[in-house]
Amino acid sequence: MNSCELLSFITSLACLMSNSLDDDCLGVLSAVFTQLGDSIATILANRNMLDTKK
């Protein structure tokens, strides 16, 4: 899947979810996915830092 296809998929998924879930649930899911992305970014940054020290 190329970058544009990935973006289209994510956008479509967000639209489907927003039509199926209430605002409270969407708010929680938004926070969960934000934290997930931030945690993954932290893990990757730490791995890169440790790899450069070898």
Please indicate, yes or no, if residue 48 is contained in any of the structural domains.
Answer: yes
Q: How far apart are CA 14 and CA 30, in angstroms?
A: 10
Please indicate, yes or no, if residue 2 is contained in any of the structural domains.
Answer: no
Please indicate, yes or no, if residue 37 is contained in any of the structural domains.
Answer: yes
Helix and strand tally (H, E) in the chain? 2, 0
pLDDT for position 21: 98
pLDDT for position 54: 76
How many domains does the chain fold into? 1
Q: What residue has token string 């990757």? A: 44
Q: pLDDT digit string (tens) for 34-44?
A: 999 999 999 99
Residue 53 confidence (pLDDT) above 90: no
pLDDT for position 51: 94
Q: pTM of the full predicted structure?
A: 0.77
Q: pLDDT digit string (tens) for 6-34?
A: 999 999 999 999 999 999 999 999 999 99
Q: How far apart are CA 29 and CA 37, in angstroms?
A: 12
Domain housing 28: 22-54
